[in-house]
Structure 1
Amino acid sequence: MKIRFFLIILFMFSFHAIRAQDGNELTIEQKQYINKFIYPLSTFEPSTDNNEDLKVLNKFIGNSDIVGLGESTHGSSEVYKMKYRISQYLIKDLNFNIFSLEANMPESYLMNNYISRNIDSPEDVLRGMYFWLWQTQETLAFVEWLKTHNENNNQKVLFDGFDMQYYFGALKQIRDVYYANNYPLDDINSLIKILKENKRGNKKYKNKIQKTVNLLLDKVSQKALEMEDKESKKRFLQNITIIRQNIKVGSSLTRDKFMAENVDWIKQNYNPSKVIISAHNFHVSKENRSSMGYHINEKYQNDYINFGFAFYEGNYTASVDGKIGTFTSQTAPIRSLESNLNSLDIPYFILDLKSIKKDNNELGKWLLKDIEFRKTGSGTKNDEFRKINIADSFDFLIFINKSSHSNLLENIKLKDT
């Protein structure tokens, strides 16, 4: 009987060891190795007064002046809070002076009326940015922090977007310039008519229509020659660029390329500038050749540092069939990055992928290969995990063990699912 019991124990131990070796779960040695590259975080709450745990960012970021902050879904409260906590630190301690997010550029820029001039309603500006993703208490709290910061510091922070999925805000701001200066409206009215009549969902405009629109925009752009205020002039011309981009966007490939161009425009037009870009993990990634982050990295190299985000379990806000709701996240499968990191029993931490990649130790090789990783956008999927090369995608990864849904502003309907 004792022999039989011993054999069962031996079998279970052997089975466990084989599973660990196959990559189903980490070995003790692998955990000990990975822990050398882990920097625990005390909290995700931006309101904390103690930022000792974030001082490691000084070393990680160094002299780089573009920092990409990702997100594994568009609706996790803890992820957004951590991003805003880090953003506050970058602004206060590392002199970052521009915060830009994955939202339409002209509409996002209006937030500066509130944070720098104390006019307009921040809730109305967030609601005017089309998507519910930023129409949350988490983002509103960060906006209020930016306003307070700008009131108490000589170096003001600029709020901006870098997306171009809609032309409405750009067109309205161009038209407002025409009204303010009593310019003839013939070209603007022709532009409005052709844009409205020829848009087909998210598909790009036909080449013939693009040519006509661009000719009209060429004529509109001549008005910039009469503008004396430099800020108004460059925004006027950039709004024209947003419309040119919008009529050409027909896929994520062109959209990400244009987003990268808009980040570059921000960088070049506000000098000196240190820019925080907030977007989905996919967009800030360096590895995917179609991503915004890839294009930024190609141009700026070591000046661009990015952080991917991951969480193990919980729920998040998402939109399905036009209805916004709370969804339970898919439990991270055993072979996934999230499952392995959760086994370390550290609730929040930064993982230094850059150093692991440089070290190239056998015990960390599982992080240098394709691995299952959560990828969910504004919607949700039955299978939330996709294989990516995490170390090629991100310099650093921030792990949070549990997610809860983001908290929408009033008048944004939430339907539990």
Structure 2
Amino acid sequence: MDKLIGNAKIVGLGESTHGSSEIYKMKNRISRYLISNSDFNIFSLEANMPESFRMNNYITEKKDNPKDLLEGMYFWLWQTKETLDFIDWLKNYNDAYNSRIIFDGFDMQFASGALNQIRDIYTQNNINVDEINELEKILKDENRGQRSYTAKSQKTIGNLLVKMKQKNVSFKSPEDKARYLQNIRIIEQKIQINSIVKRDQFMAENINWIMENNKNPKLILSAHNYHISKLNSERMGYYVNEEFKNDYVNFGFAFYEGTYSASVDRKIGTFEAETAPPESLEYYLNYLNKPIFIIDLKSIKKENNPLAKWILKDILFRKTGSGTDKNKKSFKSTNVSNSFDYLIFINESSNSNLLKQYN
């Protein structure tokens, strides 16, 4: 692993679905190695930033319940035994080595966590919270994502956020002040999301913030393959790569067949994944008859071996995500070699283990 990572300070770990147990276990294994052996000190997830940061109450301060904190991160994706096992490992590692490995997020699809943390600062400073209540009413933050706000609403929200930035507030530390201002920025981002592309740009911005606001940062990013991809300007990984260049290394993941946890037609549970079709990358890799292996795409590109040229071209590649639309194609033409530095192939996927049952 050391030879693959080199001196990189950011390692992106992808996933071809949001619900494959073997992929999460491998990502956890790589993360444990990087933390234990290569001084990586931050783990950041494709989840809402303020709510994710609260997990440090458990792993560094031994407060709160990790299951409750995971549920507070909204999506079922993280409410799994695989995620909980890794969080418990982080806590135990911090306890055993008197370390402070930080847990964070870089998404901004919800504003309520940021609002609650800002409200706490107001309360600590005996500041009236009426403007926070007003902002909360305007945001109507019951739903995620690419929600449009009128120009009038955006102006009103912007004025309230400017007031929050200018408040005479006392903080326990410079870090608390930076987090307060970043929570305001999360709300600014939230009201501007109008596409998946904009969301990826903001996620990259938040990764920059994490790197700038932590001491000697070495960061593990966990997100879908298509977010960590270096391929084009629609993806978070593209902007991370532009900013950090050789300091960013990423691993894509792929599998041939099996099951996965997903949300289909608003039903959350276990579903059969589409078996990799002929002409897909996973179909060809399955012929190697190995249960799991890693492909060094960087070396293949450098060597320009004619026997490997097929892997350097656009090819069908799994893009399932959380399975929210059963009519959406599971495979998409992708230049995998330009998307990732390394690809980890797993022959068979099984569903991640959800912490609770859904109807």
What TM-score does the superposition give when structure 2 sets the normalisation length?
A: 0.96
CA distance in 2, matches of 1:323, 1:65: 39
Deviations 1:336-389 (A, max 9, x none): 111111111111111000100111121111111000100001115453111100
| 1:173 equivalent in alignment to 2:117 | yes
2:158 alignment counterpart: 214
Q: 1:224 to 1:78 in 2, by over 3 A?
A: farther
| 1:396 equivalent in alignment to 2:342 | yes
Q: CA deviation at 1:235?
A: 1.0
1:385 alignment counterpart: 331
2:351 alignment counterpart: 405
**Other structure's SS at 1:397 match:** strand
Structure 2 letter corresponding to 1:66: I
Deviations 1:21-73 (A, max 9, x none): xxxxxxxxxxxxxxxxxxxxxxxxxxxxxxxxxxxx10111100000000000
Asked if the contact 1:101–1:160 (Cα under 8 Å) also holds between the matched residues in 2, the reply is yes
Q: CA deviation at 1:227?
A: 2.4
Q: CA deviation at 1:231?
A: 2.2
CA distance in 2, matches of 1:88, 1:335: 35
1:15 alignment counterpart: none
Deviates more, 1:117-126 or 1:318-327: 318-327
CA distance in 2, matches of 1:169, 1:197: 10
1:266 alignment counterpart: 210
CA distance in 1, matches of 2:348, 2:266: 26
Q: Which has the larger radius of gyration?
A: 1
Aligned-residue identity in percent: 61
2:272 to 309, 324, 328: 328
1:309 alignment counterpart: 253
Where has structure 1 moved over 4 Å in runs of 4 or more?
Answer: 197-201
Q: 1:200 to 1:134 in 2, by over 3 A?
A: closer
| 1:362 equivalent in alignment to 2:306 | yes
Asked if the contact 1:204–1:246 (Cα under 8 Å) also holds between the matched residues in 2, the reply is no
1:140 alignment counterpart: 84
**Other structure's SS at 1:160 match:** strand
Deviates more, 1:185-194 or 1:392-401: 185-194
1:297 to 241, 250, 269: 241
Q: CA deviation at 1:225?
A: 5.0
RMSD: 1.6
Deviations 1:85-104 (A, max 9, x none): 10000100111000000000
| 1:202 equivalent in alignment to 2:146 | yes
Q: CA deviation at 1:198?
A: 11
Give structure 2 stretches of 5+ with no counterpart.
Answer: none
Q: 1:196 to 1:301 in 2, by over 3 A?
A: same
Asked if the contact 1:224–1:237 (Cα under 8 Å) also holds between the matched residues in 2, the reply is no
Q: CA deviation at 1:281?
A: 0.3
Asked if the contact 1:224–1:233 (Cα under 8 Å) also holds between the matched residues in 2, the reply is no
Asked if the contact 2:8–2:247 (Cα under 8 Å) also holds between the matched residues in 1, the reply is yes
CA distance in 1, matches of 2:86, 2:184: 29
Q: 1:198 to 1:91 in 2, by over 3 A?
A: closer
2:319 alignment counterpart: 375
**Other structure's SS at 2:140 match:** helix
Q: 1:286 to 1:224 in 2, by over 3 A?
A: farther
Q: 1:260 to 1:200 in 2, by over 3 A?
A: closer
Give structure 1 stretches of 5+ with no counterpart.
Answer: 1-56
1:127 alignment counterpart: 71
Q: 1:201 to 1:76 in 2, by over 3 A?
A: closer
Structure 1 letter corresponding to 2:139: L
Q: CA deviation at 1:196?
A: 2.3
Structure 1 letter corresponding to 2:347: N
CA distance in 2, matches of 1:324, 1:228: 42
1:182 alignment counterpart: 126
Asked if the contact 2:110–2:145 (Cα under 8 Å) also holds between the matched residues in 1, the reply is no
Q: 1:147 to 1:185 in 2, by over 3 A?
A: same
CA distance in 2, matches of 1:199, 1:235: 24
Structure 1 letter corresponding to 2:182: Q
What TM-score does the superposition give when structure 1 sets the normalisation length?
A: 0.83
1:92 alignment counterpart: 36
